[in-house]
Structure 1
Amino acid sequence: MELAIVIPSYKPDDKCRAVIDELIASQFSRIIVVDDGGEEEYASFFTKLKTFKEVTVLHHAKNQGKGRALKTAFHYILNEDIPVDGVITIDADGQHLLSDMQKVAEQMRETPDAVILGARDFTQKDVPFRSRFGNRFTRLLFRLSTGTVLTDTQTGLRGLPIQHLPLMLEIKGERFEYEMNVLGSLKRNEIPIEEVEIETVYLDENKSSHFHPLRDSFHIYKIFLFYGMSGGASLALDLGLYSLFIYLWKEDSPQMFIIFATIAARVLSSLFNYFVNRHKVFGQGSSKSFVRYYLLAAFIMAASAGSVHLLYTEWLGRGEVVLKVLVDSVLFIFGFIVQRAWVFRKEN
């Protein structure tokens, strides 16, 4: 099985060179390094790499992010018709061991249609707190979003069969969020995933990582954040329209103004929420999405009223407001899962 090693590299150091030297010594004959727009002081590093026949260096004129660097390598492989059966992507910071790359390669031979993920063990004591917390949080969010259980959602050690590279080029994302988007697309496209356990290596508390906690976390979690903002904006619109209709109709229809105002405000705010979620939050959908959305809305409304009523009358007998908040919080997350997986799913 012919495999290419792809290394996105930004401001590389001696650890990156050591990884490449080890790969060459181990007879990996195709190594593609993407210079992601490092500063001039790093030019000599990439110039030296070009002297090795096993190494191909691709350049970005300016830094564009890890996701774009990976896509650049995939473009090169497909456009140049490089004779490989797949690629193994690794990080340039020396945290992926040669033995683990070989594990991924072996698994690719056994399951040639699957995407292979190198999974780290985050329960070890020497794992930095931000890495342990980030993985747990991202793993939970990924499971809620897709229903897929993975051990390590942020691993950069991945084996990708050549037939899946065209799909990799279609996936949105230019920086670290790209790798999460890739995982989400695998389930939607019914591509199997296999995990192999790898060593958990953190050098100097992972200081060499170019992951920016605020900026890159926002890109990774933004779909859930936008979903929350969409819900909050819809709630504010619902309350605002209700108040407006009360003001306009109260004198003319004193008996029915509350019912009319409630229905009109809820219809308009739900239409707003539907269009924002379809076009801005999830960015996809089909002709069935509208019907699915309102079926889900009806279910959530009935579930909210029924759950609060049941819990209040059967168990608690008090705290109905707090109970309502707790129930609707659970249903809010449930709504996110169903909207992403069913309501606004991409139809084949």
Structure 2
Amino acid sequence: MEQFALVIPAYKPEETCKLTIEEAIKAGFSRVIVVNDGSGPAFEGFFDEISEFPEVTLLHHAINQGKGRALKTVFHHILNHKLPIDAIVTADADGQHLVTDMVKITKELEASPNHVVLGARDFSKADIPFRSRFGNRFTRLLFRLSTGAVLTDTQTGLRGIPVKYLPRLLDVLGERFEYEMNMLAALKKNYIPVSEVTIETVYLDDNKSSHFHPLRDSFHIYKVFLLYGFSGAASFLLDIGLFWLFVQLLRDESPEMFIIIATVVARILSSLFNYYINRNKVFKQGSKQSLLRYYILAAFIMAVSAASVHFLYAEWLGRGEVILKVIVDTILFIFGFVAQRAWVFRKE
């Protein structure tokens, strides 16, 4: 166990945090790094007590800066002091990670030293709080669509991280709870292998000790997905608006081809807008290859959209070609979302 350090970011911790530290030391953790993330004067006594353990290194933030920043503080500490450890195990301070599961993480790290190891909770149990069950399923779906990574638990705080990956993880954006989600996305982008081990799902007093705020922190976690959705929605509305405009202009001029022509012109203009937003605001990366890939994808989706609306259109729909296009393009939007993430804007 000497090659591992247990890392605990702590903000206004309860007595369960001290008990966890004591149990971890008994289990063999000879190095425990705790961050007092600006808990305030009322908690000075607590941190004074745990600092008396010779195995504990206590780091301080003058004010609360968030879990992501606390983890980065530890990463800096380990790298700056060149601590003789191979990996760290991160755990929450609320007592909901069992020491037996922390030991399971170290065993997996020993078996797979090049992997980041995640403790995965089982959310299918009946006693799981609804907000946790729903949040996990929703986030897991978005995460899979956005990164291509299939994980059981995207919000787990119990993680085993080899020290050699810490420099790359310091570059990951985020200061609070969103950092952990961004970290998982960075693992996928950097081709860092991930393993999962099943851990116990523990909620003390209906998870009331958690400092995770569903509304505020969910926004931080999902904002990249929300921005992508906004970009797609704005482009979608622009495309529909231009399609309607050109349909009105071309219906009488070219009754045989007005749907296809309107689709092509509207898609070219809206795609220019969409590429600019995605490259500069969503993915914040791009190259000549990504531009070429984007328009190959756009041409494919445009052809499928035009052909689908053209062949599905029937006279009995009257003027329902716009509604038909909305249905077709909604399906193609989901396909385009995944294709842009996996192919167009992938890391070179």
Q: TM-score, normalised by structure 1?
A: 0.88
Partner residue in 1 for 2:233? 232
Partner residue in 2 for 1:184? 185
Aligned counterparts, 1:12-51, within 5 A: 12-51=13-52
Aligned counterparts, 1:292-307, within 5 A: 292-307=293-308
Aligned-residue offset at 1:325: 2.9
Partner residue in 1 for 2:199? 198
Partner residue in 1 for 2:347? 346
Partner residue in 1 for 2:58? 57
Distance in 2 of aligned mates of 1:332 and 1:73: 41
| 1:135-194 Cα distance to aligned partner (Å, 9 max, x none) | 111111111122222111111110001111111111111111111111112122111111
C-alpha contact (below 8 Å) 1:227/1:281 kept by paired residues: yes
Question: Superposition RMSD on alpha carbons, in Å?
Answer: 2.9
| 1:38-96 Cα distance to aligned partner (Å, 9 max, x none) | 12211222122222111111111211111111111111101110100000000000011
Partner residue in 2 for 1:129? 130
Distance in 1 of aligned mates of 2:293 and 2:120: 36
Partner residue in 2 for 1:280? 281
- Shift of the 103–312 alpha-carbon distance from structure 1 to 2, 3 Å rule, reads farther
2:288 aligns to what SS in structure 1?
coil
Distance in 1 of aligned mates of 2:164 and 2:309: 50
1:171 aligns with 2:208: no
Partner residue in 1 for 2:154? 153
Distance in 1 of aligned mates of 2:345 and 2:158: 30
Distance in 1 of aligned mates of 2:125 and 2:91: 22
Aligned-residue offset at 1:231: 2.2
C-alpha contact (below 8 Å) 1:87/1:160 kept by paired residues: yes
1:86 aligns with 2:74: no
Partner residue in 2 for 1:67? 68
- Shift of the 267–327 alpha-carbon distance from structure 1 to 2, 3 Å rule, reads closer
1:7 aligns to what SS in structure 2?
strand
C-alpha contact (below 8 Å) 1:114/1:192 kept by paired residues: yes
Distance in 1 of aligned mates of 2:325 and 2:243: 20
- Shift of the 334–262 alpha-carbon distance from structure 1 to 2, 3 Å rule, reads closer
Q: Match of 2:56, as an amino acid?
A: V
Q: Which runs of 5+ in 1 are unaligned?
A: none
Distance in 1 of aligned mates of 2:312 and 2:176: 45
Q: Which runs of 5+ in 2 are unaligned?
A: none
Q: Match of 1:305, as an amino acid?
A: A
- Paired residues, what number? 339
C-alpha contact (below 8 Å) 1:286/1:346 kept by paired residues: no
Q: Match of 1:229, as an amino acid?
A: F
C-alpha contact (below 8 Å) 1:50/1:56 kept by paired residues: yes
C-alpha contact (below 8 Å) 1:10/1:38 kept by paired residues: yes
- Shift of the 263–322 alpha-carbon distance from structure 1 to 2, 3 Å rule, reads closer
1:288 aligns to what SS in structure 2?
helix
| 1:295-345 Cα distance to aligned partner (Å, 9 max, x none) | 1111111222334456668xx999765553333222212222221222112
Partner residue in 2 for 1:104? 105
Distance in 1 of aligned mates of 2:162 and 2:243: 54
Distance in 1 of aligned mates of 2:244 and 2:150: 44
Larger deviation, residues 154-163 vs 238-247: 238-247
Aligned counterparts, 1:305-320, within 5 A: 305-308=306-309
C-alpha contact (below 8 Å) 1:139/1:151 kept by paired residues: yes
- Shift of the 90–304 alpha-carbon distance from structure 1 to 2, 3 Å rule, reads same
Partner residue in 2 for 1:213? 214
C-alpha contact (below 8 Å) 1:86/1:159 kept by paired residues: yes
Partner residue in 2 for 1:333? 334
Q: Match of 1:121, as an amino acid?
A: D
1:32 aligns to what SS in structure 2?
strand
Distance in 2 of aligned mates of 1:101 and 1:326: 48
2:93 aligns to what SS in structure 1?
coil
Q: Match of 2:29, as an amino acid?
A: F
Q: Match of 2:210, as an amino acid?
A: S
Distance in 2 of aligned mates of 1:58 and 1:311: 65
Partner residue in 2 for 1:271? 272
- Shift of the 197–244 alpha-carbon distance from structure 1 to 2, 3 Å rule, reads closer
Q: Match of 1:105, as an amino acid?
A: T
C-alpha contact (below 8 Å) 2:10/2:34 kept by paired residues: yes
Q: TM-score, normalised by structure 2?
A: 0.88
2:176 aligns to what SS in structure 1?
coil
C-alpha contact (below 8 Å) 2:24/2:99 kept by paired residues: yes
